[in-house]
Amino acid sequence: MTMRMIITLITLFIQDVLRMDHKVPSACLTYKPLTYAILLSMTASFSAMAEEAQTSENGEDRIVVLGGNTALKIDAPAAETPRSLSEVTQENIKDRGVKKLDEAMRYSSGVQATPYGPDNINDWLIIRGFGWSRYQNGLPTLNESGFYGWQQEAYGIERIEMLKGPASMLYGQNPPGGLINVISKRPTRLKQGEVELSYGSDDYRHFAVDTSGPVTDEGNVLYRLVGFARKANGPTDGAQSERYYIAPSMTVDFSDDTSLTLLSSYMKDNTNQTSGFKLPYGTLHDTPFGKVDYKMSYGEPSYAANNSEQFMVGYEFKHAFNDTWTFHQNMSYSYMNLLLRGAYGLSMIDDRHVNRGLTYRDGSAQGWALDNRMVGNWSFDRFEHTLLLGVDYFTANSRGKDANLYSFGDPLDIFDPVYGNYQPVSDSDLFNHNTKRRQNGIYIQDQIRFDDKWLLLLGGRYDRATSDDNQPDTNDHLNMRDHKYTKNAGLMYLSDIGLNPYISYSESFQPLSGRNNDNKPYEPQTGQQTELGVKYVPDWFNGYINAAVYELYQKNTLTTDPDSPSVRTQTGEARSRGFELEAVGNATDNLKFIASYTLNEVITTRSLNSAEIDKRLPATPRNMASLWADYKLPGALHDFTIGSGVRYIGSTYGDSVNTAEMKVPAFTLWDAMVRYDINKEWQVQVNANNLADKKYVSACDYWCYYGDGRTVTARLNYSW
């Protein structure tokens, strides 16, 4: 197929994208753009993985992380990137028996994983004390109206890249904490596959299949098919969940210079409970009747629902014009529908009875993302340049029926609950919503290498962001128009011994929904970070050690006047200061490890409430540490591998003024793994998380959240 045909197909597809009606029916899987996508899949190509094993002179496989794909949008090793990065590989996911994205981040520095306890569907993370955003294959995902959020199935993940701190220069509107970029499984040049069965605690069971390889004898057409199905009981009484996931992809290499890759997925979730929202009284504090049972639900198990379907299709196109210039284009279309009915504890009536509220959402969301990049590489004299020029576009909308009830059903006895005494949501409780948002951005970045010793990074971006929030029932319309310049800079010294110190500066912005007291839209929330660090890739062991100190400000935050609760202004500010240390490697041929330590103080620096100033933000521990190691036994036991991990999370507060009554104690958790290689094809593995079955509160805000109890999962895997 010629380049003219490829560009024609892409042009037709984008034209249909721009013309299509934004009201997408449930049968969107048969919509016309998919026809073009299928055609494109027949012309797709292999996209190189960002983590590769490079062989040293002595034949040893070296660990090389190309995290610059997320941090810089160019092919660059993480060791030569002046930003803090963490990566979780597919091997890490398998070794630790990871079932969700947030679980995968438990052993990374700078991130608090699952702070709000176990959840059947949603992922919860706090990065450097602030919020984060989710990307898939370098493009933004749906996160509309606070509830229509995209999810990733862990079995479909090739690797996870976490960029810590502001990232708006390359990605536009984002919170200051950072972003998680999930790289999907994609076709491989080698023929391979696996089938897996699993069973574990809470009647957890799954079936998975993953097959990949070349389609043609020439090896220029590749495919991959990933499928996954699971059922399980949930973390609270009466909770059940099931998931079905399929992700086909095809690729074709047209030449050494041109490639196009299609990635797609479909996932369906049915569950009746996601997270255990409990009140402090009875969880953090004793009552005359003791503590609330770990599995007790404040909701209505028979009425609760969190059912969703999501579909994504997209492509990655690459063409090298010559040795200097290469063009990249990534596109994705995503659609999801959601039915959410979630009851929760609202307030205590007495020592054992609680009033309840209900959140209800029934609607759909869809989004388009497009990123165009031109990368140029050239050198003259003692300088080497890698210039990045980019234009990106993202639009998303959601519509549906909502209800927020602050009185739902009869009061519930939290020590002897009797469910079923409630009235379902009626039409009179519902209101319609219709939201749209759009972002256009243009950016430029230059990485300059001098004498192969110094790296200078300079970048700037301009964004225009719009948001329209309409509630037809009340004739309430909120239209926001924002624009923002953001920049970043970095300087790194490349030493002869693999010790690379650096300094960097980065910015972020994020539009806020709502109006101020003058009935004007809020200004965007902004973030600024300065970071000083060092990256070490020693020649005496196979791995790397990264360390960084940073200061990160979040500005234009909303603050409430304690004397006038209805008054909210953007005079708030928070500061995150910290130190992070992370080491990953193979200590010996048989021993692998991941170690991290985080010191992070996140405090309010400006507020209308003077009691909040210099106090820590809720749910942000000052200290976190973790260590995971697995060891392949030698000699006659060489078919066995054992692994163990320890995670420490320091104490936190559940309120903004850090009262002693809302202090959440620190906790330490142990994990373990044992694997037996029956032969080259068959493998059995058992994972245990929270091995000691410690009972603990993971965090509090207004509510408190019990952490994960002990779970044990066994899996049988056949691979070829």
Residues 690 and 659: beta-carbon distance below 8 Å: no
CA distance 182 to 177: 16
Q: Residue 68 — very low, low, confident or very high, per pLDDT cuts 50/70/90?
A: low
List, in sequence order, every residue forming a beta bridge with 139; answer none if it has no partner: 136
Q: For residue 59, what pLDDT is reported?
A: 46
User: CB burial class (10 A; 0-12, 13-18, 19+) of residue 306?
Assistant: buried
Percent of the chain with pLDDT over 70: 90
Mean pLDDT of the 415-426 span: 94
| Pairing mode, strands 431-450 and 476-493 | unpaired
The answer as to whether 273 is a domain residue is yes
Token duo for residue 668 = 């330490």
Nearest to 642 by CA among 634, 652, 632, 651: 632
Residues 133 and 622: beta-carbon distance below 8 Å: no
Q: For residue 16, what pLDDT is reported?
A: 45
Q: For residue 121, what pLDDT is reported?
A: 85
Q: For residue 51, what pLDDT is reported?
A: 38
Residue 387 has pLDDT above 90, yes or no: yes
Q: For residue 353, what pLDDT is reported?
A: 97
Q: What CATH number does residue 483 fall under?
A: 2.40.170.20
pLDDT digits (tens, 9 = 90+) for 223-244: 999 999 999 998 888 889 999 9
C-alpha dist (Å) from residue 165 to 169, 362, 502, 672: 11, 34, 15, 31
* Residue appearing with tokens 């820590």: 616
DSSP H or E stretch at residue 94: helix 90-95
Q: For residue 22, what pLDDT is reported?
A: 39
DSSP H or E stretch at residue 103: helix 101-104
What sign has the CA pseudo-torsion 373, 377, 380, 385? positive
Q: For residue 62, what pLDDT is reported?
A: 55
Domain count, the chain: 1
The answer as to whether 706 is a domain residue is yes
The answer as to whether 517 is a domain residue is yes
b/e burial code for range 52-74 (CB count within 10 A of at least 16 → b):
eeeeeeeeeeebebbbbbbbbbb
Q: Residue 275 — very low, low, confident or very high, per pLDDT cuts 50/70/90?
A: low
The answer as to whether 146 is a domain residue is yes
Residue 525 has pLDDT above 70, yes or no: yes
Nearest to 179 by CA among 302, 86, 258: 86
List, in sequence order, every residue forming a beta bridge with 463; answer none if it has no partner: 441, 484
Residue 14, number of CB atoms within 10 A of its CB: 16
List, in sequence order, every residue forming a beta bridge with 395; answer none if it has no partner: 368, 438
Q: For residue 488, what pLDDT is reported?
A: 97
Residue 103, number of CB atoms within 10 A of its CB: 20
Opening angle at CA 130, ends 340 and 330, nearest 5: 70
The answer as to whether 312 is a domain residue is no
Residue 664 has pLDDT above 60, yes or no: yes
Q: What is the chain's length?
A: 720
Tell me the pLDDT of the chain averaged across its residues. Answer: 90
* Residues in CB range of 589: below 8 A, 6 or more apart: none
| CA 210 to the chain's CA centroid | 22
The answer as to whether 226 is a domain residue is yes
C-alpha dist (Å) from residue 416 to 297, 298, 352, 353, 408: 11, 11, 9, 10, 18
Residue 203, number of CB atoms within 10 A of its CB: 10
Mean pLDDT of the 417-426 span: 94
CA distance 268 to 243: 6
CA distance 63 to 452: 21
The answer as to whether 643 is a domain residue is yes
| CA 458 to the chain's CA centroid | 26
Residue 28 has pLDDT above 80, yes or no: no
Q: For residue 69, what pLDDT is reported?
A: 80
Nearest to 607 by CA among 643, 574, 584: 574
Residues 132 and 123: beta-carbon distance below 8 Å: no
Q: Residue 25 — very low, low, confident or very high, per pLDDT cuts 50/70/90?
A: very low
Residue 500 has pLDDT above 80, yes or no: yes
For residue 30, the SS3 value is helix
Q: Residue 209 — very low, low, confident or very high, per pLDDT cuts 50/70/90?
A: very high
Q: Give the range among 11-15, 306-310, 456-460, 620-624 with minimum mean pLDDT.
A: 11-15
The answer as to whether 443 is a domain residue is yes
User: What radius of gyration, in Å, describes the C-alpha atoms of the chain?
Assistant: 25
Opening angle at CA 175, ends 520 and 81, nearest 5: 145
CA distance 430 to 423: 14
Alpha helices by DSSP H, listed for 155-302, are 168-171
What sign has the CA pseudo-torsion 411, 413, 418, 419? positive
DSSP 457-508: EEEEEEEEEEEEEEETTTTEEEEEEEEEEEEEEEEEE--TTSEEEEEEEEEE
Q: For residue 201, what pLDDT is reported?
A: 96
Residue 50 has pLDDT above 90, yes or no: no
Q: Find the domain containing 253 and state its range.
A: 44-305+331-349+375-719
Opening angle at CA 688, ends 682 and 694, nearest 5: 175
CA distance 5 to 10: 9
Q: Residue 52 — very low, low, confident or very high, per pLDDT cuts 50/70/90?
A: very low
Q: Give the range among 53-57, 227-231, 361-365, 638-642 with minimum mean pLDDT.
A: 53-57
Mean pLDDT of the 67-81 span: 87
Nearest to 81 by CA among 564, 486, 447: 447
Residues 259 and 317: beta-carbon distance below 8 Å: yes
Residue 43 has pLDDT above 50, yes or no: no
Residues 10 and 329: beta-carbon distance below 8 Å: yes
Nearest to 51 by CA among 23, 15, 86, 19: 86
Residue type, 60: E
Q: Residue 61 — very low, low, confident or very high, per pLDDT cuts 50/70/90?
A: low
User: CB burial class (10 A; 0-12, 13-18, 19+) of residue 710?
Assistant: middle
Token duo for residue 712 = 């044990």
pLDDT digits (tens, 9 = 90+) for 424-437: 999 999 999 999 99
Mean pLDDT of the 112-122 span: 91
What sign has the CA pseudo-torsion 629, 635, 636, 638? positive
Alpha helices by DSSP H, listed for 185-246, are none
| CA contacts within 13 A on the Cβ side of 548 | 31
